[in-house]
Amino acid sequence: MTDTIVPHVPVLIIGGGQAGLSVSWYLMQEEIEHIVLERHRKFESWRNNRWDSFCLVTPNWQCRLPGWHYKGADPDGFMLRQEIVDYLDGFAESFSPPLREGVDVTHVSPRNGGGYWIETSSGNLTADQVVVATGGYDNPIVPSYAADLDASILQMHSRDYRRPSQLPDGGTLIVGTGQSGVQIMDDFHLEGRLVHLAVGPAPRSPRKYRGRDATDWLYDAGTYAVTIDTHPDPIKALTQTNHYMSGRHGGKEIDLRKYALEGVRLYGSVAGASGTMMTFLPDLENNLDDADRSYLGIRKQIDAWIAAQAIEVPEEPPFEKVWRPAQEITEVDLAEAGVTSIIWAIGFRPDYSWLKVDCLDERGKPLFNRGVTKVPGLYFIGLGWLNTWGSGRFLGIDEDSRYLSEQIVGHQKNKLAA
């Protein structure tokens, strides 16, 4: 392999989403030459991998990309999908990044003498430094036993879901209660469709509490400024599913017990499937109780902050568990229950098979400190808990990208001085 005649760029950013372009924004301020390669279009996941009714679950004011804070008329509202795309497109137009769309990076490896050899769908190049901003949503997770289900049952991953009318008449089983699962469940419920929900161990959060959005209180209390290296339980922070709630209709709480009272059929975690039979673990009540403990823990945290600051705000009624399962249902014949479709909402796995650099652990997860790997000139951005809770979200990308750009600039200056 020779790399003497291929193009060279000081810094390559892989991924044209909000994280990669935020790093680009800072590098442009520092006049550091770089390019951004995006295999689809910029902000592709927001354009084409979200359902029609999708909206933010964090308030608009938290959209704070570099030099491009939300300036709309509804800072406490929750932007819809197209509004998010418009916001992001405005960000890109505000500084015209050196972005090349439709270019897929297929190989990155260390280069003799330093830097990196990169192979792409449009040719090869070399770079002194590489920023991986591809996110963690490459491969939708579908369990192996899904292949054993009867072919008459339509199966779909949440990434491909757009609206209830995509699914055939009859009941729909949604597997997973992360943010996607519960919001898709709500989509079906609001349309009067029969919906079944396999409830996993995801925690839940209050929405409005004591006169304000819960995220506003937590921001003021400094919760979102806690770094992973000072977190009291970093393992839990890194492995826990995001708390579920909704930004729909101005923001609302998701209490699955109330949905059960309104006709949503709840089960525990899926254990397996074959033909038309689906089996569930007897953990529904435990999962609901765990979600409530998380919910009450956040309320307690907010109460403590309010008391410490001597803020006068209304009290909230005591929490009440409005529904409990009469029994744990562990086996369902989907055909007899009228279920004609399943939506798998159990997440994604990143794909770093193209990254031939010693920067991953035995499970294939990146190893870094604030996005900086031990391999000189290689960085990650846009992942959860890169540094704080806001990492990977609109709230924390500015801080993360600014920090990485400082490391990149320092590395480049040291290279030039050598």
The tens digit of pLDDT for each residue in 139-171 reads 999 999 999 999 999 999 999 999 999 999 999
Average confidence (pLDDT) over 310-314: 97
Please report the pLDDT score of residue 3 as a whole number.
46
Q: Which pLDDT band holds residue 1 (cuts at 50, 70, 90)?
A: very low
Please report the pLDDT score of residue 88 as a whole number.
98
DSSP letter for 68, please: E
Cα–Cα dist 132/184, whole Å? 30
Residue 377 burial class via C-beta count within 10 angstroms: exposed 0-12, middle 13-18, buried 19 and up: buried
Cα–Cα dist 154/167, whole Å? 8
Please report the pLDDT score of residue 240 as a whole number.
85
**Tokens, residue 5:** 């005649």
Cα–Cα dist 200/241, whole Å? 10
Average confidence (pLDDT) over 32-58: 96
Q: What is the pLDDT of residues 174-204, one digit of tens each?
A: 999 999 999 999 999 999 999 999 999 999 9
**Tokens 């996005």 found at:** 371
DSSP letter for 202, please: -
Tell me the backbone φ, ψ of residue 398, rounded to 5 degrees: -60, -50
Tell me the backbone φ, ψ of residue 252, rounded to 5 degrees: -150, 160
Residue 416 has pLDDT above 90, yes or no: no
Q: What is the pLDDT of residues 265-302, one digit of tens each?
A: 999 999 999 999 999 999 999 999 999 999 999 999 99
Q: Which pLDDT band holds residue 2 (cuts at 50, 70, 90)?
A: very low
Cβ neighbours, 10 Å, residue 207: 18
Cα–Cα dist 42/242, whole Å? 25
Nearest alpha-carbon partner for 53 in 226, 234, 195, 191? 191
Please report the pLDDT score of residue 4 as a whole number.
57
Tell me the backbone φ, ψ of residue 247, rounded to 5 degrees: -100, 5
Cα–Cα dist 40/37, whole Å? 9
Cα–Cα dist 90/31, whole Å? 21
Average confidence (pLDDT) over 363-367: 94
Residue 39 has pLDDT above 90, yes or no: yes
Taking all residues of the chain, what is their mean pLDDT, rounded to a whole number? 96
The sign of the CA dihedral 317, 319, 325, 330 is: positive
Q: Which pLDDT band holds residue 392 (cuts at 50, 70, 90)?
A: confident
Cβ neighbours, 10 Å, residue 73: 6
- For 359, half-sphere exposure in the C-beta direction (CA atoms, 13 angstrom radius) is 25
CA 72 from chain center: how many Å? 23
Domains and CATH numbers, the chain: 8-138+350-417 (3.50.50.60), 140-344 (3.50.50.60)
Q: Which pLDDT band holds residue 257 (cuts at 50, 70, 90)?
A: very high
**Tokens, residue 118:** 């990169």
**Tokens, residue 317:** 């009624």
On whether the CB atoms of residues 36 and 24 are closer than 8 A, the answer is: yes
Q: What is the pLDDT of residues 61-82, one digit of tens each?
A: 999 999 999 999 999 999 999 9
Cα–Cα dist 301/218, whole Å? 8
Percentage of residues in the chain having pLDDT higher than 90: 93
